[in-house]
Amino acid sequence: MAMDRYVITGKQRLEGSIRVSGAKNSSLPLLAATLLAEGTSNLLEIPALADITHMIEVLETLGCKVARQNEGMLVNAGGLVSCEVDEALMRQMRASNLILGPLLARYGRVKISRPGGCAIGSRPMDQHIKGLQLLGVKVNEKHGYIEAKADQLRGGDVYLDMPSVGATENIMMAAVLAKGTTVIRNAAREPEIVDLQNFLNKMGAKVRGAGMDVIRIDGVDALHPAEHTVIPDRIEAGTHMIAAVMTKGDVVIENVVPEHLEPVIAKLRQAGAAITLFDDSIRVQQQGGIRGIDLKTMPYPGFPTDMQPQFMAMLSSAEGTSIITETIFENRFQHVDELRRMGAQITVEGRTAVIRGVETLEGAFVEATDLRAGAALFLSALAAEEATVLEKVDYIDRGYERLEEKYSCLGAKLLRVSKKG
């Protein structure tokens, strides 16, 4: 399959305002959660992204009717015809595994293949499966398929070995219709978990504690459809903030929740950015050079792994030496070789990258290897001398809505070239 490319002319100072779309990592579990109720739910601010399209295809395969209407996404899960998703669909996107919990809760059975997604390290489903088994689910794995059944889900006490976001979401969605109370310990604390809790409670669920490391769910007999607005995408917002810094720009990022970005804001200030916070927007100004900093990725509320590649791009032209330690994924330095093509001086030893800042990056032919690596190369191209050709930008489409349109409005010079194939 041929993918599109960007041709980007660097060294354009970005100025103006840019609006953040709804969070991809919230939209996917919210779409899955609509399976829990008969009738039509309305989700507002769902972004138009490749991963969202894949999730809609999964829902439609199951028998849902999905339609965009004005600002909303209407999902009618009243007439489900299947509890199976074919391998081709599952392989397109990792988050398709989020249908496990809702289908088990509502129908007591589901069959899926192991999901795909960006190849940034092993993201095993053992936490999902262990948690569901503690709610009474029988799981049979063979030939790459997961078949799960439960006559009646029952509340359970689940301790997660690591605070997995997907496992926390799947167990929450299964537990809302279980008999009795479920407790999830060492739960993921991301804002997207809180957003899911809020939607489930609007549907009639009894969930409390999201955002903390212990979540309690009292099962109910049935849920009803609801309307909900997706939270803004904190990773998209952080990416725009770095774009302003790298181009020595002055950009107002609109539709944000500043509290969701605390570690990103703190590190950008440490690097010398002038950041002004408002209720639902952030202004980022950069005049002098970027200072080198050290950072370590951690589960929320620590520094997000999904911002690590973008920070590496920024630190490639910072003063002095920076050190990045990646603790979440073991294979998340795939962007390093491509940044080196642009003149970055980066050495990697295990989970640690040492970045020696250069005066400026140079335009080059580079290739996105995954979503956030693509974002890092996009940012580097904005700040580089001369033109950069960025291949395989379809990876970027998985997490950034209307990128060329948004950045053209800020003064970036970029062209998307479609490749037929």
* 409 given a catalytic annotation: no
- Number of domains composing the chain: 2
Average the pLDDT over each of 23-37, 79-93, 101-115 and give the range with the smallest value.
Answer: 79-93
Q: Are residues 352 and 220 in the same domain?
A: no
pLDDT surpassing 60 at residue 69: yes
Q: Are residues 364 and 332 in the same domain?
A: yes
CATH of the domain at 384: 3.65.10.10
φ, ψ (nearest 5 deg) of residue 151: -65, -45
Q: Are residues 32 and 45 in the same domain?
A: yes
Q: Which of 201, 226, 251 is the last residue of a domain?
A: 226
Kindly report the average pLDDT of the chain as a whole number. Answer: 95
**According to the model, what pLDDT value does residue 116 have?**
55
**According to the model, what pLDDT value does residue 198 have?**
99
Q: Which of 193, 226, 259 is the last residue of a domain?
A: 226
List binding-site positions for UDP-N-acetyl-alpha-D-glucosamine: 94, 123-127, 306, 328
pLDDT tier at 330, thresholds 50, 70, 90: confident
- The CA distance from 78 to 96, in Å, is 20
* 362-381 tens-digit pLDDT: 999 999 999 999 999 999 99
* 290-326 tens-digit pLDDT: 999 999 999 999 999 999 999 999 999 999 999 999 9
pTM of structure: 0.95
Q: Which of 226, 243, 265 is the last residue of a domain?
A: 226
Tell me the percentage of the chain whose pLDDT exceeds 90: 87
Mean local confidence (pLDDT), 332-336: 93
Mean local confidence (pLDDT), 135-150: 92
Q: Are residues 241 and 254 in the same domain?
A: yes
Q: Are residues 274 and 409 in the same domain?
A: yes
List binding-site positions for phosphoenolpyruvate: 24-25
Q: Are residues 30 and 131 in the same domain?
A: yes
pLDDT surpassing 90 at residue 113: no
* 232-254 tens-digit pLDDT: 999 999 999 999 999 999 999 99
Q: Are residues 248 and 362 in the same domain?
A: yes
Q: Are residues 239 and 220 in the same domain?
A: no
pLDDT tier at 259, thresholds 50, 70, 90: very high
Q: Are residues 249 and 295 in the same domain?
A: yes
**According to the model, what pLDDT value does residue 295 have?**
98
pLDDT surpassing 90 at residue 79: no
Q: Are residues 277 and 165 in the same domain?
A: no
Distances (CA, A) of 64 to 22, 76, 118, 227, 296: 22, 6, 26, 17, 41
Q: Where in the sequence is the domain holding 132, given as residue range(s)?
A: 24-226
Tell me the percentage of the chain whose pLDDT exceeds 70: 97
List binding-site positions: 24-25, 94, 123-127, 306, 328
Q: Are residues 264 and 394 in the same domain?
A: yes
Average the pLDDT over each of 54-58, 110-114, 184-188, 343-347 and give the range with the smallest value.
Answer: 110-114
Mean local confidence (pLDDT), 99-125: 79
Q: Are residues 15 and 30 in the same domain?
A: no
* Catalytic entry in 64, 83, 118, 409: 118
Amino acid (one-letter) located at 349: E
CB 252 within 8 A of CB 279: no
CB 292 within 8 A of CB 247: no
**According to the model, what pLDDT value does residue 117 have?**
54
CB 411 within 8 A of CB 16: yes
